[in-house]
Amino acid sequence: MFSVKVRCFGLTTLIPGYFHGRVCAQDLFYNIVGRKTSTVTSDPVIIRVPRRVQDRVESVKQVKRKHLDQVATVKAGKLLIRSKNPLLNQSVSYTLGKFEEPVLTSKGWKNSKSFGDYFTINSTQSAPPFLPQTEEEHKRDGHGHRRTFGHLRLSAELVETLQGHDIIHPTSVQLQTIPKLLRGHNVLCAAETGSGKTLAYLLPVIHKLQEEMPQVAFGEQKTQAVVLVPSRELAEQVTSVARTMSRPFGLKVKVVGGGRGVGSIKAAFSNGQPHVLVATPGALLKALWRRFVDLSELRFMVVDEADTMFDPSFVDMLEKILRQTQVAANLSELTGPIRKSQLVVVGATFPGGVGELLDKVTDLGSLVTVKSRMLHHLMPHVKQTFVKVRGSEKVLELHQALKEAESDRKGVLVFCNSAATVNWLGYTLDEMGLRHARLQGEMPASMREGIFQSFQKGHVDVLLCTDIRFPGTRYAKSGVGG
């Protein structure tokens, strides 16, 4: 409690029903509250204020002062979004005010008058985000150098093979995934396309298989690693990388893809079972049912492109395969006379039901998750331009973009929604005199592979294609996509 002394002072006021003229404040107070006023007094009036009221008043003052100090401001920075309408431009460090509503750069695009509008999302860095750039991501050693694959305790032959292909430093995803697989963990890896997921699982698989090769007893060789992918194209690409990496150790790598008869699948195992088998789910099930392949000594089961493999069109086949695979629930099950296999699930996205299926074949608690920090984010090293055009003007706009890219000698990927659109657009570009190649799902697998290799080698600069994906492929030549 504290006291406030109130002394008598004069004031001129007009209060209906009370006083008119100059009165004493103390007498005014007593008359209002109905108490008798002493005519002769010299003692001050004491008003006592409880301590809790004082604390509350002070707390309110502090809160108001704090809010005033935190007023949101707009910080200018490098231009991130450049729009046809300059009022819709946005900077990298743009911060909305407290009562400011965000404005979409594509505002008004539903209006028919918006044809011709465009905006560009500029790149904010030159290198991909999955390449280590900060000191923490580099995990620098005592000499202050970025970590190489040699620091990950991979075999010297593997490191030399990587160096021969100008692959020196691991990506962020590889830095996290490879050590965990070498220690024997089951891994679920979620990372964006192009972040190095294929090498992230192939390198530890090949390293561990070559270590145990002398321990394999004489007799029939059995498959020790299986990589499941959803399409023949992906299987061929992964097989190419696996063969390159395993060549110094003499490991056999075979591929069996879907859409082929039993005879071609049987032929793949004519010279015995491979150490590493890359397969589509349908082809692997056929091989298992006819006992072309034996998974009793399997050490690794890899499910690549999980976003597609756990799709309803594949999930039933995938479950049948995983149920025939003994997946280790802990590290102790990886050793001993009856060893179980490690499970690796890789993808950019994971649809619902992944956990439900994996729970049927292993302990979910044994799965170690590796997630890229840029997953589901815009890639900051890629410049993107959006243009709203009429359907009849698409080809003209595309022709202009291809002409601009032609002078820079950059590869251009043009994605279409169907094989028929690829062919139609190809005929149109032929009439315009633009050299290009076409790639779509109705072509034989061998033809598709040859066409894509010609694009990679620079024999043609424009590739029209459907959404066929090639994991583990380095698009060093590609500069523009549509």
- pLDDT of 339 over the 70 cut: yes
Residue 241, token pair as written in the block? 């990388």
- pLDDT of 65 over the 80 cut: no
- pLDDT of 216 over the 60 cut: no
- pLDDT of 90 over the 60 cut: yes
Q: Are 295 and 227 in contact (CB under 8 A)?
A: no
Digit-coded pLDDT (tens) for 253-272: 999 987 667 888 888 888 88
Note the pLDDT of residue 444.
75
Q: Are 131 and 119 in contact (CB under 8 A)?
A: no
Q: Are 448 and 233 in contact (CB under 8 A)?
A: yes
Q: How far apart are CA 233 and CA 142, in angstroms?
A: 43
- pLDDT of 148 over the 90 cut: no
C-alpha separations of 28 from 19, 23, 139, 193 in Å: 8, 7, 78, 82
Whether the pTM exceeds 0.75: the reply is no
Asked whether the domain spanning 149-371 has the same topology as the one spanning 1-18+390-481, the reply is: yes
Nearest CA among 362, 393, 344, 394 for reference residue 187: 344
At residue 21 the predicted structure's pLDDT band, cuts being 50, 70 and 90, is very low
Assess if CATH 3.40.50.620 describes domain 149-371.
Answer: no
Note the pLDDT of residue 20.
45
Q: What is the mean pLDDT of the chain?
A: 79
Digit-coded pLDDT (tens) for 375-432: 767 777 788 889 898 888 889 888 888 888 877 777 888 988 888 899 999 999 998 8
Note the pLDDT of residue 317.
92
Residue 352, token pair as written in the block? 């619902």
CATH architecture of the domain covering 1-18+390-481: 3-Layer(aba) Sandwich (3.40)
Digit-coded pLDDT (tens) for 179-202: 999 999 999 998 887 788 999 999
At residue 215 the predicted structure's pLDDT band, cuts being 50, 70 and 90, is low
Q: Strand, helix or coil at 236?
A: helix
**What are the sequence ranges of the domains in the chain?**
1-18+390-481, 74-127, 149-371
Q: What integer is the mean pLDDT of 98-115?
A: 83
Note the pLDDT of residue 267.
86
Give me the percent of the chain exceeding a pLDDT of 90: 23
Q: Are 284 and 321 in contact (CB under 8 A)?
A: yes
